[in-house]
Structures are given as structure tokens and as C-alpha cells.
Amino acid sequence: MRLYDCETAPSPRRVRIFAAEKGIELERVPVDLAGGEQFSDEYRAVNPDCVVPTLELEDGTCIGEVVAICQYLEEVYPEPNLLGRTPAERASTQMWNAKVEQQGLWATADAFRNAAKGLKGRALPGPDAYEQIPELAVRGRARAASFLEKLDRQLDGREFIAGALYSMADITALVFVQFAQRLKIATPENATNLQRWLEAVAVRPSSNA
């Protein structure tokens, strides 16, 4: 299996960590997002949304979207489990993954894409050109900061975000928290639950993937 990837982007990092936790070796194909390679005809044939990651299977099937890729990898390599062991655990993992995406990761994406000088006219990923909306960058920073506090509350008395086990929700949250740090949206000093969790998950070998 091949992973179309970019070292610096948050979304493919989620898949790299997920695969590393399972010990899956993926052939990595770098896509030069800064150079616009995602808009090439070759890459549009792989993923018409012009985004990474994409997982290409042996038969040529291309899977986009992190949740779809991770679900596929979980089915093909079930251990260690990262999506939950019971229907209720799986629901909690999906729920928290969705919350972290929508309230955390997409907020940092708004903050980044609507402010970066190199992304003028490209405020959204994908083939269509949209102008930056500076108010959206401001709102994204506020939402991300608010969600860091929510994660701290969720981690009060819990080792991991979605339940007793490390899961996809922790991976998405780690990528969110560290991307927020890159944007100078700091993890609050008094968010002791979040700090404790971050120290634990950031030292897992997978976090270097």
C-alpha cells in the first residue's frame, strides 16, 4: 500500500501515527504541497480533491479522507486496536474523533489558511480558489483555544480521550494540539489534565511518524 503524504501537513500525520502504532510499513509518496504538486494531472487522478493523505491499495483503489483510511487499516490490521473493542467504545472513539476534528483541527486549519501569506486565494484545500477571510483566522484561534480547555475537562479522571484505551481520538487530538502549538496557540498552563496526557502520548514512538 502507498500513502500519498506530506511531512508538514497535519492530516497525513494522523495516518502515519495510526499506521506506526500498528507497525504497518506504508510506501510513502511525498506530494509537494508548497510547490502545487497536488494540482497536477497525475495527482488529480489519485485524488480529485487535490488533498493528502490518499491511500492507494494494491489493486489501484484510492481511499481519501483520514477516517476512511484509518477504518480500512484497522480492518486489515486489527491489532493493536485503535477504534474501540465494543460497540459503545467504538461509538465513543468516533464521537470524540469527530469533535476533535470539527472543533479543534478544522479551527486550527481556519486559523492557518486564512492568515498565511503563501495561501492568499487558497483559503480552503482543494481545486477551487477561495479568498482568505481574516475574521475566520481570528475565530479559528479563539475556537482552538476554547477546545484545548474542553479537552482538559474531558481528560479529568481519564487516561485517554475516548475511554480506557489509546485510540484514533488521541491521535487526532495530538495532531491538533501540536498544530495549535505551531500556530502559537498555547496549551494553557493550568490545563493539568491535558498537559499530563500530552506528555504521555507525545513520547510514544509513533508520534515521530
User: Applying CB under 8 A, which residues contact a copy of itself?
Assistant: 49, 57, 61, 63-65, 67-69, 71-72, 75-76, 87-88, 90-92, 94-95, 98-99, 103, 124, 126, 128, 130, 133, 135-136, 139, 142-143, 146
Residue with smaller CB distance to a copy of itself, 24 or 67 = 67
Angle between helices 168-182 and 106-113 (to 10 degrees): 20
- Selection from 6, 16, 29, 32 nearest residue 172 by Cα: 16
- Selection from 16, 50, 58 nearest residue 31 by Cα: 50
Closest approach, Cβ 15 to a copy of itself, in A, equals 13
The CA distance from 178 to 175, in Å, is: 5
Question: In sequence order, which residues have a C-beta less than 8 Å from that of residue 118 and are 6 or more positions away?
Answer: 34
Closest approach, Cβ 129 to a copy of itself, in A, equals 11
In this structure, which amino acid lies at residue 205?
P
Closest approach, Cβ 136 to a copy of itself, in A, equals 6
Q: State phi, psi for 68 to the nearest 5 degrees.
A: -70, -40
Residue with smaller CB distance to a copy of itself, 57 or 202 = 57
- Selection from 200, 94, 194, 199 nearest residue 144 by Cα: 194
Closest approach, Cβ 208 to a copy of itself, in A, equals 26
Residue with smaller CB distance to a copy of itself, 75 or 79 = 75
Closest approach, Cβ 11 to a copy of itself, in A, equals 11
Question: In sequence order, which residues have a C-beta less than 8 Å from that of residue 55 and are 6 or more positions away?
Answer: 1, 2, 3, 4, 15, 26, 62, 63, 69, 72, 73
Residue with smaller CB distance to a copy of itself, 67 or 119 = 67
Closest approach, Cβ 189 to a copy of itself, in A, equals 21
148: enclosing H helix or E strand: helix 134-154
Residue with smaller CB distance to a copy of itself, 136 or 204 = 136
Residue with smaller CB distance to a copy of itself, 6 or 84 = 84
